[in-house]
Amino acid sequence: MERVIDGDTVVLFVDLGFNVHLREKFRLAGINAPELRTAEGKDSKQALENLILGKDIYVRVYKKGKYGRWIAELITEDGLNVNCWLLENGYAVEY
């Protein structure tokens, strides 16, 4: 985990194996978080940071989106689906 941009976009340092690493931007699939200029957007970003910073994250990639970000689901090392957690806890809406 490198950084959280907002409640539905992150930058990850991805280990592809065989000593190959990439730094990529990911958009969380199926959700839309409030914009950062709102209090709800700042809360959403903070919740996402608290949930994943400092943890190993597994990424299930679907495709590359129209803005060049990979569309993906994030799963924590203990099996929690981050996308679903944000929805269930009111930090994002279905997209």
Per-residue tens of pLDDT for the chain, all 95 residues: 889 999 999 999 999 999 999 999 999 999 999 999 999 999 999 999 999 988 889 999 999 999 999 999 999 999 999 999 999 999 999 99
CATH classification number, 3-94, choose in 3.10.28.10, 2.60.40.10, 2.30.110.10, 2.40.50.90 = 2.40.50.90
CA–CA gap between residue 35 and residue 59 (Å, rounded)? 23
pTM of the predicted model, to two decimals?
A: 0.91
CB 5 within 8 A of CB 84: no
Residue by residue, DSSP assigns 41-92 as HHHHHHHHHHHHTTS-EEEEEEEE-TTSPEEEEEEETTS-BHHHHHHHTTS-
* Domain chopping of the chain, boundaries: 3-94
CA–CA gap between residue 14 and residue 42 (Å, rounded)? 25
